[in-house]
């Protein structure tokens, strides 16, 4: 959706989904590392 709105980057931080202890704090980083050709650059931020 962000790409369709013209964004070129997306910031992904700690606990991006906000679901507490269900996922690892940086699970979203691992997911975005798997998809290298999204057409939008993920910026993986630490605490």
Please indicate, yes or no, if residue 4 is contained in any of the structural domains: no
pTM: 0.67
Please indicate, yes or no, if residue 24 is contained in any of the structural domains: yes
Please indicate, yes or no, if residue 2 is contained in any of the structural domains: no
Residue pair 14/46 in contact (Cβ under 8 Å)? The answer is yes
Output the CA–CA distances (angstroms, integers) from residue 7 to 24, 25, 39, 43, 45, in the order listed: 27, 25, 10, 12, 17
Expressed as residue numbers, the domain containing 27 is: 9-44
Please indicate, yes or no, if residue 1 is contained in any of the structural domains: no
pLDDT in tens, the chain (47 residues): 888 888 999 898 887 666 667 888 888 888 888 988 889 999 999 87
Please indicate, yes or no, if residue 3 is contained in any of the structural domains: no
Q: What is the count of structural domains for the chain? A: 1
pLDDT of residue 8: 93
């Amino acid at each position: 959706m962000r790409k369709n709105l013209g964004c070129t980057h997306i910031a992904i931080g700690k606990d991006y989904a906000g679901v507490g202890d269900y996922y690892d704090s940086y699970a979203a980083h691992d997911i975005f590392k798997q998809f290298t050709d999204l057409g939008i650059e993920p910026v993986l931020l630490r605490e």
